[in-house]
Structure 1
């Protein structure tokens, strides 16, 4: 399942804060200088693969990672993850509730095409 954090209307502050509070999740974010697979992240962060998948789910649910399909000529496509934000701002509103603002990074034409391919794969 490929998820697009841009499709979300409103972020759940608790979900974002839970993701940012997780040491393994922060390690994954730090490791993502370029798109990587779950296996590559597991190795880079020294986290068991099963745990890596749980952390990737946590981060994509919080709209902090993009999940996309890398199309390979051999037909064995793979899922790659990348950081979806430039900045995360946390503030308190007048009623002392947390407000979360995640500034999304700009997407290249190649990334937008990969997103469209992912959508086509989901619908077929």
Structure 2
């Protein structure tokens, strides 16, 4: 996913934020709820939700619904960001976001391909 100049500023600012970095690190290997992220980041749930919203604008996290032991639904978030590359060109800067493909998405794609044959 390649983006140009104004997105470079937006994404750089977003990734420079300490809370955003912590959210991405914490959700890299394991999905976490906003409440769990609030605890590990030491910030309010509202702050976590604002950062998650911004991260979702750039597809840097995914959202899934899970059930707890009591049957209640809650959302968990997983980082999809794998790498960020910023390239200087004669037209300015380009930023390329390398996103991890989630296993569920790969399985869905596989099933669709098999079904279409």
Structures share fold, TM-score greater than 0.5: yes
The CA deviation at 1:100 is: 1.3
Aligned counterpart, 1:50: 46
TM-score of the superposed pair, with normalisation by structure 2: 0.73
Gaps of 5+ in 2: 109-117
TM-score with structure 1 setting the length: 0.69
Task: Point out where structure 1 has 5 or more consecutive residues left out of the alignment.
Answer: 1-8, 114-124
> Aligned-pair RMSD on alpha carbons?
2.5
Aligned to 2:96: 101
What's the counterpart of residue 66 of structure 2? 70
Provide the residue aligned with 1:24 in structure 2.
19
- Of residues 6, 29, 32, the one that matches 1:36 is 32
Please identify the structure whose Cα radius of gyration is greater: 2
* Cα distance change on mapping 1:59 and 1:110 into 2, 3 Å: closer
